Amino acid sequence: MQLNYLPSIRQYGLFAQLDTINLNIEEYYDRRTERNRTLIASANGPLLLVIPTGKIAPADRFYKAIPIAYEEPWQKKHWKSLESSYRRSPYFEFYEHHFYPFYANKNYEFLWEYNLAILETINKLLKLSPQINLDPIVENFQYPSKIKPYMQVFDSKNGFIENLSIFDLLANKGPESTIYLKSQL
């Protein structure tokens, strides 16, 4: 499976069912994937957040070698977007201190390191403890085809937006997120 930035609810629905998660960091890196982007719900509808990556030689375009570019203040922008989108959600205040350090510090050189640290934080919050292997094992998994609606912050304005970042589920359902995820398959 791909190691993505704030993985989608659909991907986490599968993670919640597994005892072992094999994440491939040896594969060729394509910028148009969820490895460096996630989707959240904003007041104006879905909002794409993208982590900028540094330039590398085409021969080195493997995920494990992709550096994070800190030249622009993307962390500040992402945190402001998360805050403005979820500040009014029922559980944002309970989880914000777990996520804020990812947007305040420049502790990670490579994208995969950053994504793995966030994944491990989310797993702790969801009380999931799968074994995580960074192996290039190719497995075919079936993601849940339809996500069951749950109450979202901007439901009345935008309707239910399916398959956002796992952050959306945590902010809106809190401790019930794990039960919700396990019911998806």
**Tens-digit pLDDT profile for residues 84-141:** 999 999 999 999 999 999 999 999 999 999 999 999 999 999 999 999 998 766 666 6
Tokens of 19: 């005892």
Spatial CB neighbours of 96, under 8 Å, sequence gap ≥ 6? 83
Domain ranges across the chain: 9-182
As a whole number of angstroms, the distance between CA 15 and CA 46 comes to 23
pTM of the full structure: 0.92
Is the Cβ–Cβ distance between 52 and 69 less than 8 Å?
yes
Measure Cα distances from 44 to 13, 84, 107, 115, 169 in Å. 26, 11, 32, 26, 18
* pLDDT for 61 beyond 90: no
Measure Cα distances from 176 to 89, 97, 110, 122, 126 in Å. 14, 19, 32, 14, 9
- Could you read off the pLDDT of 19-51 as tens digits, one per residue? 988 898 988 888 788 999 999 999 999 999 999
Burial of 179 from C-beta contacts in 10 A (0-12 / 13-18 / 19+): exposed
Which residues on neighbouring strands pair with residue 37, listed in sequence order?
Answer: 50
* Summary mean pLDDT of the chain: 91
* pLDDT for 153 beyond 90: yes
